[in-house]
Chain A
Amino acid sequence: MTRLYVARNTRAAARKLDREMMIMSGKDSTLFTLNKTATIIWQAADGATPLDEIVERQICPKFEVEPAAALQDAETLARELAAHGILDVSENPIISANSQPATSQANPPAGESR
């Protein structure tokens, strides 16, 4: 199985307000509000943790979903976020300046809608 690694795009700006994670794309300045799953992936996207681990440890227990189906959805979501310049996706670990946890401007709990 090919593992996928995800990292927060350093050009994207993020802010958690109330329960909503707001992201401004670094690619075209489009504004997104992430849903709960996307917020979890965004916050865990340190470039070193494989996506399947993020799904297994943080998404499956929370949403009671099958790992295989959840991983497929997460990969689709990650590639979609990558297309918007929000995440970087690679089959190898991603070394970037953005490898710290995305908690500096966050207020729990996770966001709602997208």
Chain B
Amino acid sequence: MPGLISPVDCLHLTIEIGGIPIRVNTTDADFLGMLQNRYAGFVGSSEGATIEFDVDLFTPSFVDPDTDLRVTQRAGKWALERGDFRAEWEPARRTGTIRQSANPYSIDAVLRIVHTLVLAQEGGFLLHAASAIRNGKAFLFAGVSGAGKTTISRLAPSDATLLTDEISYVRRDVRKDVGKQNHSYVAYGTPFTGELAKLGENVSAPISALYLLAQGPENRIDPVTPGQAVRELLANVLFFAEDQELVQRAFHAACEFVSRVPVSRLTFVPDARVWEMIG
């Protein structure tokens, strides 16, 4: 009885961040349009998407996005739960589901978490840091809220390409020049914004330095010990999973990063001259 069954259009969008394409399937055209706007510049081809999510939209009676996030793994399947969404992802099958209302924030959180899980497996991470490319090299500026990530981003000169003012995307360099000191990690632009509310450029470059931000009476760069560097790096790594193996991976990733990328403390006054010391 064909008249009783109407076809449901399956719409999709592939969001490619950090070179990792994630395909999102939905039946809601308005939601799709919302995602296209939200991730403009990061929409890629669905070919080669290694992760795929079906989004199941619902109208909640009440949601509390401030409810504690839980990210747990059981029998090879990740469960991601917060007040405003519930998601599952099975890496071996490359598929998952997201149940949420039609808003861009829930899926944004899911994407961040999934990227942290993918990166943790390969020695990369998401970092609370602004980042920018200058003269072909990427520079990261890490710090907690209020440390100056947005300020240093605002002060960036016109020849700098902003990758993000909030969440930096760090991957191990898989290219052939991995043996080169300081060129063993790559920073990618992200659509994850802070106070600037401006999407980063979807480009990448080898990471030349990580600066731990501090605001002070003068512009200066000071060395930090490897121990300090690892400690502060880990304090700024985005990590959600309650998983002992991944915690250990994050620790080793931070140590590896510090052994290959120069890390120092950048104290600065809110003045564009600080960029004369960078690049």
Contacts and interface: CB of A to CB of B under 8 A. Distances in A.
User: On chain B, which size bracket covers the interface?
Assistant: 10 to 19
A15 B229 CA distance: 13
B273 interface: no
B146 interface: no
Given A17-B255, A18-B226, A24 B247 contact: yes
Interface in A1-56: 11, 13, 15, 17-18, 20, 22, 24, 26, 29, 31, 33
A22 B255 contact: yes
Nearest to A113: B227
Contacts of A24: 247-248, 251
Contacts, number: 38
Interface residues of A, dominant DSSP: strand
Nearest to A29: B247
Nearest to B255: A15
Nearest to B239: A29
A33 B247 contact: no
Contacts of A33: 227, 231
Contact of B230 (A17, A26, A113): A17
Contacts of A18: 225-226
Nearest to B247: A29
Contacts of B226: 17-18, 20, 22
Interface of B: 225-227, 230-231, 234, 244, 247-248, 251-252, 255, 258-259
8 contacts: A13-B251, A15-B230, A15-B251, A17-B227, A20-B225, A20-B226, A22-B251, A31-B251
Interface of A: 11, 13, 15, 17-18, 20, 22, 24, 26, 29, 31, 33, 113
Given A18-B225, A22-B230, 10 more contacts: A11-B244, A13-B247, A13-B252, A17-B227, A17-B230, A20-B226, A20-B227, A22-B251, A26-B244, A31-B234
